[in-house]
């Protein structure tokens, strides 16, 4: 069975409308179907690993958005399904995210080692 690497680089594309991130959701659905898949957050997407983001309270007219996205919880659920989640260390540091300030279980990978991570997988999805 091929090993897949799902690389998320463009976050928050439509997370309010979807109530989750489409790439993370797709990765989770692949895993649920039996795929062997790893998730890599790079660029601005490393922010997904910051705990406690709160997108509640949005409404248009009288239509309230009741199920706000909780991407950190979605990542935790993904890891609970056996998916390893990486963030690129330098991308997190550049954005002021300290190593201990991310949700538990997320692994760091140095930018210089991202190529090796690609090489360790058979197929790459770049979102």
Partner 1 sequence: MPTVTIGLMDPPYESSNTVTGLRIIDAALRKGHQVNVFLYEGAVALGFAEQKPHANPVKGKTVEEFDHPNPKEWVAALFELARTSGVKLDWINCGLCVDERGVDKQVEGARRGSPADFWKLAEASQGFLFIATR
Q: Counting Cβ atoms within 10 Å, is residue 76 exposed (0-12), middle (13-18) or buried (19+)? A: middle
Separation of alpha carbons 29 and 100, rounded Å:
28
Residues 79-98 that bind partner 1 (CB under 8 A): none
Q: Residue 43 or residue 90: which is nearer to partner 1 going by CB?
A: 43
Which member of 2, 34, 54, 60 binds partner 1 (CB under 8 A)?
60
What is the per-residue binding string for partner 1 in 61-80, x denoting contact by CB under 8 A?
A: xxx-xxx---------x---
Regarding 124 and contact with partner 1 (CB under 8 A), the answer is: no
Q: Say if CB 74 and CB 25 are below 8 A apart.
A: yes
């Amino acid at each position: 069975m091929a090993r897949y690497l799902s690389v998320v680089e463009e976050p928050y594309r439509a997370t309010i409308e979807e109530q989750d991130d489409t790439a993370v959701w797709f990765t989770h659905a692949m895993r649920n179907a039996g795929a062997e898949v790893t998730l890599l957050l790079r660029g601005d997407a490393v922010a997904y690993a910051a705990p406690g983001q709160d997108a509640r309270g949005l409404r248009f007219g009288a239509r309230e958005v009741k199920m706000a996205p909780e991407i950190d919880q979605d990542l935790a659920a993904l890891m609970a399904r056996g998916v390893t989640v990486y963030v690129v260390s330098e991308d997190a540091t550049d954005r002021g995210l300290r190593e201990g300030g991310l949700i538990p279980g997320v692994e760091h990978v140095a930018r210089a080692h991202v190529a090796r991570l690609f090489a360790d997988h058979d197929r790459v999805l770049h979102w």
